[in-house]
Structure 1
Amino acid sequence: MGNTQSERTMPYALEFLGKNTDEITKQATQILGVLVNLPEYDRKDRKGGILTLMGLRGSFLVGFAIGEVPKNDPAKYYEIACKKCRLLHNLHYNDHFSDEKEKPPISSFVRRNEKYEIYGGGIPLGTFYSSDPCKYNCGFLAFSGLPELADEALVLVLALDMEWIKLDLAREIAQASTNPYFEALLKASRA
């Protein structure tokens, strides 16, 4: 059997960056389950948050609750995740970075600023840094709800699984933040 009529006529409601929303949230939930059970992960009180995706040139911004969103202020986590995507979007499309000598930041962590609630956990997707294009490219991905480096590890592994970034870029981002979770999560999620 084929798709239903609504699936054929409204694909924008079902897919983002070439992936079905169910596929994205299912994979993010699986990765989160692995992450919170890592021996390195010491915040057992944090088991979820908000995942946001922004399309090329801000064409869309969507959010998904993944796991147990912290109950103290779920709207805050949504806003912080959106802020990570918007920050990267604005920096990537800023004329200042049109010069090949200087590239925009590889993650929200490198522009971290607690005063303005800018934390790690946001990454660019696709061909911003590579001449070897990804299957689905260009956009931004962020998570908020866990410690910021756990947020970052989750989005890096999710982006790899969705074919939105390549492993060399994921490792470069993790190295820039000295991320203690990424390699362990990558290995455990592949076991």
Structure 2
Amino acid sequence: MQDAPFALDRVNLPLFISVARHIFTAAENLLCQSGQSDKRGGYCAVFENEISNPGLLFHIGESLQDKLGKRIEVALEKGRRLQNWPEHLTSFQSRNHNVGCWGGAIRGRNFLFSFSGLPELWDEAVMFVLAIRLRQLQESDVLRQIGEDRNPHLRPLLEITHCTE
């Protein structure tokens, strides 16, 4: 029998933010080890599937003050765009670099998770791991749909955060 999906409420909010920070820190460490990025923070937005405004928006890590507004804007855009494409699992499926639409939002059972602050595929990997940890998605389903060639960061992040089945 599968565990019930995570509920985002006052009781679970501290745990939710703690799990998100743990996953982000693991991604940041992997990025630093590989020398890929000096990005160290961003914004996470969580939307209920049917509601256009986020139920939760919070900062993770460190960000330059001049980047904060843009990261909020992009995190919100990714989530809202994914809401407009109900058949999509991820905003990567509707991304368009020409108009500044990026991947980094994913659809869980009850929530959409969006992040902006890391490189695009890392934003997405962090959100997939968060949704898996919160029982919004099944790891085996995600790995079947999102192969290593599509997002090479997902499996290493699952492994380092001890999320693999």
TM range (shorter): 0.7 to 0.9
Q: Deviations over 1:106-151 (max 9, x none)?
A: 211111112322111101111xxxxxxxxxxx22111000001010
Are 2:62 and 1:68 equivalent residues in the alignment?
Answer: yes
Structure 2, unaligned runs of 5 or more: 1-6
Q: CA deviation at 1:19?
A: 6.8
For the 8 Å contact 1:19–1:162, the answer to whether it is kept is no
Measured in 2, the distance between the counterparts of 1:36 and 1:28 equals 12
Are 2:136 and 1:143 equivalent residues in the alignment?
Answer: no
For the 8 Å contact 2:90–2:106, the answer to whether it is kept is yes
Partner secondary structure for residue 42 of structure 2: strand
For the 8 Å contact 1:121–1:144, the answer to whether it is kept is yes
Measured in 2, the distance between the counterparts of 1:85 and 1:172 equals 23
| 1:149–1:177 CA distance, 2 compared to 1 (3 A) | farther
Identity %: 29
Are 2:9 and 1:26 equivalent residues in the alignment?
Answer: no
Structure 1, unaligned runs of 5 or more: 1-14, 93-103, 127-137
Which residue identity is paired with 1:47?
R
* TM-score, normalisation: structure 2: 0.83
Q: Deviations over 1:32-77 (max 9, x none)?
A: 111111244611x111110000113116412110111343321111
Measured in 1, the distance between the counterparts of 2:155 and 2:148 equals 13
* TM-score, normalisation: structure 1: 0.73
Measured in 2, the distance between the counterparts of 1:19 and 1:148 equals 31
Measured in 2, the distance between the counterparts of 1:125 and 1:59 equals 15
Q: CA deviation at 1:20?
A: 2.0
For the 8 Å contact 1:50–1:69, the answer to whether it is kept is no
Are 2:159 and 1:167 equivalent residues in the alignment?
Answer: no
| Aligned partner of 1:156 among 116, 125, 128 | 128
Max radius of gyration: which structure?
Answer: 1
Q: What's the counterpart of residue 50 of structure 2? A: 57
Report how many aligned residue pairs link the two structures.
154
Q: What's the counterpart of residue 94 of structure 2? A: 111
